[in-house]
A and B are shown apart, each in its own frame.
Chain A
Amino acid sequence: TAGITQAPTSQILAAGRSMTLRCTQDMRHNAMYWYRQDLGLGLRLIHYSNTAGTTGKGEVPDGYSVSRANTDDFPLTLASAVPSQTSVYFCASSDSRTGGPFPGELFFGEGSRLTVL
């Protein structure tokens, strides 16, 4: 079973360039999330989507944008990358049966390691 697939697994990007991290899930979960993980810090929420067609800002949304055109896909775009965006990015999903923001158990993709030079 695929679960959540992220691409690319790693990327080196020049500062100022744009980049889209792709995330696809096959579990029909309604909620999806993008986190970044940096050494010594907890996972930090960038953006989330409780259902297709809606998105929301997390703790660290600046410099990132997302879209949720359908249930399965939740791409994360860096419009103009900066070195502080060097991180490991995790996409996650959850089956929020209440229809509200409660995350429930999160299922994570394998991560995308991004280096901005």
Chain B
Amino acid sequence: GQNIDQPTEMTATEGAIVQINCTYQTSGFNGLFWYQQHAGEAPTFLSYNVLDGLEEKGRFSSFLSRSKGYSYLLLKELQMKDSASYLCAVTDSNYQLIWGAGTKLIIKP
């Protein structure tokens, strides 16, 4: 079956760095997305990786290793507003999006 695994919850300190991992097993691969979702709100797009390597966008970076079925989202200089759930999603060979359950990130002062 198809599967996306992410930690359920993580805690980090304001100003620090946190890495949220995502591993996947899907039938084919056509790209990996990261979305941010604040409590009670809609998911919003953060990043897209289709080739191996690191994509940097401001304080957020996303890494992909297709051979390992692995990605991570790196958040630097954490701010309280980064408290949210982070959703990993993979596009499979049929171009369907398979979603992970999300990682709830709690930022402490």
Contact = CB atoms under 8 A, between A and B. Distances in A.
Given A102-B30, A106-B45, A41 B101 contact: yes
A61 interface: no
A40 B94 contact: no
Interface in A27-48: 40-45
Interface stretch (B36-44, B54-62, B64-72, B75-83): B36-44
Interface string B20-57: 00000000001001010000011111001000000000
A62 interface: no
B101 A40 contact: yes
Chain A residues touching B, range? 10 to 19
A42 B102 contact: yes
A45 to B, nearest CB: 7
A90 B42 CA distance: 8
Chain A to chain B: the 5 pairs with minimum beta-carbon distance, closest first? A42-B99, A108-B42, A101-B95, A43-B99, A102-B95
Interface string A72-116: 000000000000000000100000000011110111111100000
A108 B101 contact: no
Contacts of B48: 105
Contacts of A106: 33, 35, 43, 45, 97
Nearest to A100: B95
Give the dominant DSSP class at B's interface. Answer: strand
Q: Interface residues of A: mostly helix, strand, loop or mixed? A: loop
Nearest to A48: B96
B45 A42 contact: no
Contacts of A111: 41-42
B43 A45 contact: no
Given A101-B95, A103-B97, A43 B42 contact: no
26 contacts: A40-B101, A41-B101, A42-B87, A42-B99, A42-B101, A43-B43, A43-B97, A43-B99, A44-B99, A45-B96, A90-B43, A101-B94, A101-B95, A101-B96, A103-B91, A103-B95, A103-B97, A105-B48, A106-B33, A106-B43, A106-B45, A108-B42, A108-B44, A110-B41, A110-B42, A111-B41
